[in-house]
Amino acid sequence: MKISKKELFIGSLMGLFTTIIFYSFIKLIGKSLLVFDAILHKYELIILNENEQFYYNFFIAFISLNFSFSIIFEFLINKPKRFLSKYNYKKKNILNLQRVSNWFFINWFFRISFMFGILALSFDTKDFFPEITYIFYLIIIVFLGQMWMSFKSFLSKNKLKSFILFITLTLLFAFTISKIEVINNESIDKSILSKNFLYKYNIQRVTSNSFTKIPDYKPFFFDIYVTKNKLITNSDVRDSIIKTRSLKEQILDFQSNFSSLYHPYLSYILHIDKNTSMLDVKNLHNNLKELKARKIYYSLKDKNIPFYFSTNKAFGFILKNSIIGNTNRKLIKIKILNKIKVRFENNTISMRKLKELIEQKILNEGISPFVLLFNEHTSFESYFKVLSLTRDIVNKFRNDYAEKSYNTSYQSLSKELKTSVRDKYYWKFVNIMN
């Protein structure tokens, strides 16, 4: 490998410059894709934790280093030899550079596409690194081997020491580049998340084992955000501007977009903070009843993703009047005292004990409607724990019956069989504020 100190210096300087430029380019493109995705999805921005950010930065820095190495090696070190006349050499050299350039950019187009495809996969699954980290290591090993194979034949001795030195310097250089912050992530994240209702008002929602999946495309859904001291609505999921009209005006405007035949199918998603008073929730229910908005979903938090993602998990029910109707069976009355205690059949018990007693009562007396009693100071979290528990119990009976009668789970049954099982083990509840 015949190369002067001047060429080595210039090549190293150009390699450093190209690496930083390409690293900055990929970081900017990656952040732009995240911001664009957040704008399209109600400003739900994907933010990486410290460990994930390190992996991404190092991987991008290494890719940039590999890209820079290809440029320097191809255009500075591996220069074509002169042959025949100087005019023929110039012609051959120009054609050679043109071919190399075409191959070079096509090759790197696929490399960059592959890298962004890997990163996009991680953003979609929300659980990338624990399962597929080895792909990062595999790519780094392959590219390191490719770089080493490019010039190992020029070494006549001490190849092992040169290899160890090459690996060490390459990884150290990539690690150093990965520590460069070319954009202000914190400012960009705050700017995007300031338009996310769940983040802006710190709406901490409840969780439940019983949920319904709702589609991402929701033309029939109206979002209502409820905090401890205010109610916010957003009738158009693509518009982040808070409306100044009343709830009634907005819902009527939303309903006017559809024929009256579709009104029973219109649904209303309530994003309720868990510390909200049940007095406010009860008043909201009354307003919705007046507007004939009966198909309700409580938005649930997914434990595996940040709280400001709305997700497609919700707790659905039909909002009915506080009238049980005719029933020959004794009602299952539950008085909610706080987050961990309830009163059931004249006894103050824990949530765990409540589940056992209700299951035993249903086994002995059959299924009955649930009556949930609370006061104005009861939090939505306390109320929802009991509400979710009642559905979990009913779902357990449904599943046991399906396993016994049809030798399969309840969810695997046909629509007709599910209806017959629901008729036998129905789930009805009534809210009563003391």
Residues of the chain with CATH 3.30.420.270: 332-433
Task: For residue 227, give the 3-state DSSP assignment.
Answer: coil
Here the tokens at position 233 are 């609505």
Tell me if the pTM is above 0.85.
no
Q: Report d(CA 425, CA 396) in Å as an integer.
A: 10
Q: What is the 3-state secondary structure (H, E, C) of 231-296?
A: EEEECCCCCCCCCCCCHHHHHHHHHCCCCHHHHHHCEEEEEECCCCEHHHHHHHHHHHHHCCCCEE
Q: Which residue, chain included where needed, has tokens 């664009």?
A: 36
- Tens place of pLDDT per residue across the chain (434 aa): 566 778 778 888 888 898 999 899 888 988 888 898 888 888 888 887 788 788 888 888 988 888 888 777 776 665 555 545 555 566 666 666 666 666 766 777 777 777 667 666 555 445 555 566 777 788 788 888 878 887 776 777 777 888 888 889 889 999 999 898 888 888 999 999 998 889 988 999 999 988 888 876 567 888 899 987 677 765 433 343 344 567 888 888 888 888 888 888 888 999 999 999 999 899 899 889 888 888 999 999 988 788 898 888 899 998 876 655 554 457 899 999 988 889 998 899 988 899 999 999 999 888 989 999 999 889 999 999 999 999 999 999 999 999 999 999 998 989 899 999 999 999 999 999 87
Nearest to 296 by CA among 276, 271, 273, 277: 271
Distance (Å) of CA 19 to CA 28, 30, 58: 14, 16, 12
Q: What is the total residue count of the chain?
A: 434
For 426, which DSSP code? -
Task: For residue 121, give the 3-state DSSP assignment.
Answer: helix
Backbone φ, ψ for residue 329 (5° rounding):
-105, 155
Distance (Å) of CA 137 to CA 65, 114, 173, 187, 276: 15, 15, 17, 31, 47
Here the tokens at position 258 are 């559809």
Confirm or reject CATH 3.30.420.270 for domain 332-433, answering yes or no. Answer: yes
Q: Report d(CA 196, CA 203) in Å as an integer.
A: 10
Here the tokens at position 346 are 């004249």
**Could you tell me if 122 and 128 are in contact, meaning their C-beta atoms sit under 8 angstroms apart?**
yes
Here the tokens at position 404 are 């016994």
